[in-house]
């Protein structure tokens, strides 16, 4: 593995960094306090080519490898992890199509995201099935006319309130079945639907061929408030054979493939937040004086800064290693994806919490960015598999 970035990778990181400093950081606290979905920011990111990075070259016209994708997500996350989560979830929804869809499905389901700044949702988690995907109850069943019908409820779905396409994992046959399928409710179908928007932010989508999709009121979250999260309910939604990705009995393997891709990207989110927390804390301790000297010159504070820096660098190494494993399709990519995810989440939590501590009482005030970073950090340790699940994966692979 060569740690020297290519010229293309350098250009990407520099361009994203400039974008973050121009479009996100100057107004990040007012944006976050308003709980407003960053549609304008995402549209500008799409125009610059920072969205939908998993779409294959045959559709997109050029390819973006997993390492470069991780670098882009990392730089976006330095600005705000809600923005990067919303952007990354487009790839979460679309990568399974890129990996397992037919050329016709890739063209139908992915080309709309090349042509317009659309939003996608990845629908996996359910109220009774968090990390245990086998406990999900959403399902498709084939009717007498040969068309499948999708029913079920999903929760904590990123981008749900604004999605133009849904990637849904569900049981095949019945809620108690053992086989899992992956189906797409596509842009062209939703574009012809009748959509009713409700004052509380929920919406009801009546599909032209029958069936209804309901998205709930957006969740009021501790952090990552620029990322939209809501429940989604599918009621008698028709699913044609061409909307089923790959083998309708191999959905569990497809989930594993998606998460092996996604966990390094979550690690990139963690590294970006950790580095931002470090920079904010370092700048504050250089300015603030206690006991007649800068806080950063106090041995105990400097020791904390050193620990923060070390955790960031180690997490960054784990991230790049995992992304390289995913890019090269290494058989052991899963264990390194889990390692990167846990290492980066730990770095994010440590740097945000210690950065807040270095701010003293000011860190507890909402007008200081470090308080926002401390709230945002916790979800990195949870989504795409809590740390205990990652340890289970690592342990399973070791033995």
Q: How many Å apart are CA 325 and CA 42, to the nearest integer?
A: 28
Nearest residue to 172 (alpha-carbon basis) of 253, 250, 101: 250
The predicted structure's pLDDT at residue 1: 64
Give 105-152 as a DSSP string.
HHHHHHHHHHHS---EEEE--BTTBSS-GGG---EEEE-TTS-EEEEE
Per-residue pLDDT, 145? 85
pTM over 0.75: yes
* pLDDT tens digits, 317-344: 999 999 999 999 999 999 999 999 999 9
Name the residue among 352, 327, 326 with its Cα closest to residue 269. 352
Dihedral (CA of 7, 268, 339, 323) sign: negative
Structure tokens at 75: 């730089």
Q: Which positions are annotated as active-site residues?
A: 384
Of 132-136, 140-144, 223-227, 384-388, where does the model show the most confidence? 223-227
DSSP, collapsed to helix, strand or coil, labels residue 232 as: strand
Q: Which of 116, 114, 118, 120 is nearest to 61 (CA)?
A: 114
Cβ(211)–Cβ(239) below 8 Å: no
Confidence of residue 11 (pLDDT cuts 50, 70, 90): very high
How many C-beta atoms surround the C-beta of residue 127 within 10 A?
Answer: 12
pLDDT of 134 reads: 87
- Quote the pLDDT of residue 3: 79
pLDDT digits over 128-161, tens only?
988 888 899 999 999 888 899 999 999 999 999 9
Taking the C-alpha atoms of residue 281 and residue 139, their distance in angstroms, rounded to an integer, is 48
pLDDT at 132 (0 to 100): 87
Q: Using CA atoms of 357, 360, 362, 365 in order, give the dihedral in degrees to the nearest 10.
A: 50
Cβ atoms within 10 Å of 19's Cβ, excluding its own:
18
Residue 131: its pLDDT value, please? 82
Question: How does pLDDT run across 79-123, given as a tens digit for each residue?
Answer: 999 999 999 999 999 999 999 999 999 999 999 999 999 999 999
Q: What is the mean pLDDT of residues 388-394?
A: 94
Average pLDDT across the chain, whole number: 96
Q: What does the pLDDT read at residue 359?
A: 98
279 contacts: CB under 8 Å, gap ≥ 6: none
Q: Show the tokens assigned to 31.
A: 């944006």
Q: Residue 230's beta-bridge partner residues?
A: 157
If you average pLDDT over residues 247-262, what whole number do you get? 94
pLDDT confidence bin for 166, thresholds 50/70/90: very high
List pLDDT tens digits, range 20-69: 999 999 999 999 999 889 999 999 999 999 999 999 999 999 999 999 99
Give me the pLDDT at residue 210, please: 94
Domains of the chain: 7-115 (1.10.540.10), 120-247 (2.40.110.10), 252-398 (1.20.140.10)
The number of beta carbons lying within 10 Å of the beta carbon of residue 173 is 17
């Amino acid at each position: 593995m060569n740690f020297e970035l290519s010229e293309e990778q350098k250009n990407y990181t520099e361009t994203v960094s400039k974008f973050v400093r121009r479009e996100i950081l100057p107004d990040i606290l007012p944006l976050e306090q308003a709980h407003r979905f960053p549609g304008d920011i995402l549209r500008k990111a799409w125009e610059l080519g920072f969205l939908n990075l998993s779409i294959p070259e045959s559709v997109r016209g050029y390819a973006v490898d997993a390492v470069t994708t991780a670098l882009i997500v990392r730089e976006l996350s330095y600005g705000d992890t809600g923005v990067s989560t919303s952007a990354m979830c487009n790839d979460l929804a679309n990568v399974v199509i890129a990996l397992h869809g037919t050329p016709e499905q890739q063209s139908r389901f992915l080309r709309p995201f090349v042509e317009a700044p659309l939003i996608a949702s990845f629908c996996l988690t359910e109220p009774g099935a968090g990390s245990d995907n086998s406990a999900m109850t959403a399902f498709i069943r084939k009717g007498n006319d040969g068309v499948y019908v999708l029913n079920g409820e999903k929760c904590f779905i990123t981008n749900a309130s604004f999605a133009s396409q849904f990637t849904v994992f569900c049981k095949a046959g019945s809620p108690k079945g053992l086989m899992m399928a992956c189906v797409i409710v596509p842009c062209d179908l939703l574009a012809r639907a009748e959509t009713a928007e409700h004052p509380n932010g929920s919406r009801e989508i009546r599909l032209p061929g029958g069936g209804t999709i309901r998205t709930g009121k957006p969740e009021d979250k501790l952090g990552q408030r620029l990322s939209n999260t809501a429940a989604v309910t599918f009621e008698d939604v028709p699913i044609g054979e061409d909307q089923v990705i790959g083998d309708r009995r191999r959905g569990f393997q497809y989930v594993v493939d998606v998460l092996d891709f996604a966990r390094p990207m979550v690690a990139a989110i963690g590294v970006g937040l950790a580095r931002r927390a470090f920079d904010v804390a370092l700048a504050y301790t250089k300015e603030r004086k206690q006991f007649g000297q800068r806080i950063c010159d106090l041995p105990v504070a400097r020791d904390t800064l050193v620990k923060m820096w070390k955790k960031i660098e180690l997490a960054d190494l784990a991230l790049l290693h995992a992304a390289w494993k995913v890019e090269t399709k290494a058989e052991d990519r899963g264990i390194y994806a889990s390692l990167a995810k846990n290492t980066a989440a730990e770095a994010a939590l440590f740097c945000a919490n210690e950065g807040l501590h270095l701010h003293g009482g000011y860190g507890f005030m909402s007008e200081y960015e470090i308080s926002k970073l401390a709230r945002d950090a916790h979800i990195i340790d949870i989504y795409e598999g809590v740390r205990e699940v990652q340890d289970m994966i690592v342990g399973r692979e070791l033995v």
